[in-house]
A = this chain, B = another copy of it.
Amino acid sequence: MAASAGPEIERLISLLAKLPGMGPRSARRAALALLKKREQLLVPLAASLAETAEKVSSCSVCGAPDTRNPCSICSDGSRDNGLICVVEEAGALWAMERSGAFRGKYHVLGGLLSALDGVGPDALRIAELVGRVRGGEAKEVVLALPATVDGQTTAHYIAERVAGSGVEITSLARGVPVGGELDWLDDGTIIQALRARRPA
């Protein structure tokens, strides 16, 4: 680090290095950019982070970060209460929203079950989901979880917990991504896409 630049800059660099995708080198570059663009970047970013820390909290219904509670999606009357899309993190929720194809509500788990990392059902918002499903007007739960071992373990666990409530459980379709070249796809995806083939 820069022993000469003072403890404040060193602390800033070590905090920036904790952001995903950043390492010590890129954190130094980022700190330099911040120091150089003081009024355009450093001051606004400091204010934005302070405002986020102060105003943004987790929605008590779905768990998504928002300034409102319940969040803007949960309190949107034009959305279908009968449809709950279960996602791992808010990033997946944002991706679903960008697609513009989903007009129901969400449930953010806050992670996935993982035997390796010691993440059990109590560490996730699964009890809240079961409560929503059993107590509410939900007709379908769409599991939009990653196609990984942890993602599928979590999906199976949720399906088991919700079973018997009369609610339909679905998953996102697996297949060839739009724009995907067969040559670059893994075998598992090709096998699933072939099994689920449809009339053209």
Contacts and interface: CB of A to CB of B under 8 A. Distances in A.
Given A28-B94, A73-B4, A90-B35, A53 B42 contact: yes
A30 B51 CA distance: 16
Contacts of A19: 30, 33-34, 41
Query: At the interface, is chain A mostly helix, strand, loop or mixed?
Result: helix
Contacts of A52: 8-9, 12, 34-35, 42, 46
Interface of A: 1-6, 8-9, 11-12, 15-16, 18-22, 26, 28-30, 32-38, 40-46, 48-53, 55-56, 64-68, 71-73, 89-91, 93-94, 97-98, 110
Contact of A56 (B8, B51, B65): B8
A50 B46 contact: yes
Contacts of A68: 6
Nearest to A106: B4
B90 A45 contact: no
Contacts of A20: 26, 29-30, 33
What 7 pairs across the A-B complex have the smallest Cβ distances? A46-B49, A2-B94, A6-B67, A46-B50, A19-B30, A35-B65, A12-B48
- How many copies of this kind of chain does the complex include? 2
B65 A41 contact: no
A67 B5 CA distance: 8
Contacts of A90: 2, 5, 32, 35
B97 A45 contact: no
Contact of A45 (B16, B40, B56, B91): B16
A7 to B, nearest CB: 8
Nearest to A31: B52
B42 A11 contact: no
